[in-house]
Homo-oligomer: A and B are copies of this chain.
Amino acid sequence: MTDPTSPRNVTADDVAEAAGVSRWTVNRAFKKDASISPKTRSKVMAAAQALGYVPDLHAAALASTRSNLVALLIDDFANPHKLVMLERLTRALRSRGWDTLLVNTLDPDDAAPALLNASQRRVDATILIGLQFDDEVLRAAYKARRVKKLIIFARGSEDPNTTSICVDDEAATREIAQYVLTRGYRRPLFLAGPRTTSAHLLRKETFTRVWQENRGVVPDSATVTAYDPLLSAEVAHDTLAPRSRDALPDIIVCENDALALGAIDTIRHRLGLTVPGDIAVIGFDDVPQAAGPNYRLTTYRQPMTEMANYLVDVLESAETTDLDRRFLGELVVRDSA
C-alpha cells in the first residue's frame, strides 16, 4: 500500500520548503484559530495538498500535553445496547476530532493492564461504559499515572475523581413505577443486574422505594449477574418456574433491555405464557430489537446522542470538577406492558 516512490515521510519541513515559509507556519496553518494570515494559510495548504502532507499525531501528542485520544473500556459484550453506545460515542468523538481506543476488559484481570496501557498511549480521558467490574477498574485507575479524566458513561457515580454522565435513574424509574401503578399491575418483580459499589444505577432502589410508598410492600426481585439476555432467561426461569400460577408476577420490571429480552423469551418459550397477557415486561435503554415485531418492548429511552455530545463537551472542557450531568429520557410505550 505504501507508495514506493516516497521513501521518506513528508513532514512539515517539506511543506515549509515548498511553500517558502518556516515549519512553524506550516503547523499554524493546520491549527484551528492560530495566528496566521489567510493568504499564507492557503498557500501552505496548497503546498501540503500537493505533497500529501498530514500532521503526524504521534509527534503532536509527544510534543504537547494532549493526544486527542480516549480509551473506551468495555466489558459488557452480551448487552446489545453496547453496540448502540459504541456507535453513538465513536461518531460524536470522531466528528469533533477525537479518536477512540477500544479496550476490552471483559476479563477483570485485563482491567489494570488496560488502564496502564491507556496511560502509555497518553489518552486524554478514560471512558467506562457500563462495566460489571468497574469497582476494580476504578481502583486500578486511581493507581495509574497520567489518566487525566475518568468518565463513567451511562452509569452514576458519586466518586469525586470521576465524571458521571447518565440518565437520571431516579426520575426515570419513578416514571416507570408510576406507569406500572397506573396500569394497575399489582405483583411486580424487579429483575436487577449485577451490583457494583463505585458506579451504580439507582433503578432497583428507586423502584422499590416508590412501590413501597404506594403499596406498602417491598416488591419481589431477582438478580442476574451480567447484562446478558441468555443469562437473564436462565434466572427468570429459575425464579418463576417453581412458582404456582398465582404466585407469578403480573409484570417484570427490568433494569435494562438486555434483561428484559431474556425474560420475555423465558416467559414465552419456557413457561409457555404470553407477554403481556400473562406477564408484562418493561425494560430500559430501547435497544433496536425492542422495536422489532418480536418483542415490542415498552422501555425507557436514554438520549444517547445528546449524552455522547455532552461527553465530548466534558473532554474539551477546562473544568475538572462538577461536570456530572443527569439526562432525562422518555418512556416508550409499546406492547409488552
By a beta-carbon cutoff of 8 Å, the part of chain A in contact with chain B is 1-3, 6, 9-10, 52, 54-59, 61-62, 67, 72, 77-78, 80, 82-84, 86-87, 90-91, 94, 99-104, 106-107, 110, 114, 116-117, 119-122, 141-142, 144-150, 161, 228-230, 233, 261-262, 264-266, 268-270, 288-289, 291-294
Contacts and interface: CB of A to CB of B under 8 A. Distances in A.
A225 to B, nearest CB: 16
Contacts of A121: 57-58, 99
A67 B67 CA distance: 15
Given A80-B80, A91-B104, A110-B94, A229 B58 contact: no
22 contacts: A1-B144, A6-B145, A10-B145, A52-B145, A58-B59, A59-B62, A86-B102, A86-B104, A91-B107, A99-B121, A101-B101, A101-B102, A102-B102, A229-B288, A229-B292, A230-B288, A233-B292, A265-B293, A265-B294, A268-B293, A268-B294, A269-B293
A292 B55 CA distance: 49
Contacts of A72: 102
Contact of A114 (B94, B114, B228, B270): B94
Contacts of A230: 288-289, 291-292
A266 B293 CA distance: 7
Contacts of A59: 58, 62
Contact of A58 (B3, B91, B122, B141): B122
A292 B294 CA distance: 14
Contact of A292 (B102, B114, B265): B265
A62 B62 CA distance: 8
Contacts of A289: 229-230, 261
A270 B288 contact: no
Q: For the complex of A and B, list the 8 residue pairs with the smallest distance between their C-beta atoms, beginning with the closest.
A: A90-B104, A269-B293, A102-B102, A77-B87, A265-B294, A57-B120, A58-B61, A58-B62
A94 B104 contact: yes
A120 B150 CA distance: 25
Contacts of A122: 56-58
Contact of A106 (B3, B82, B91, B120): B91
Nearest to A67: B58
Contacts of A269: 293-294
Nearest to A264: B294
B292 A262 contact: yes
A55 B120 contact: yes
Contacts of A84: 77
A293 B106 contact: no
A145 B104 contact: no
A102 B90 contact: yes
B99 A100 contact: no
A144 B100 CA distance: 20
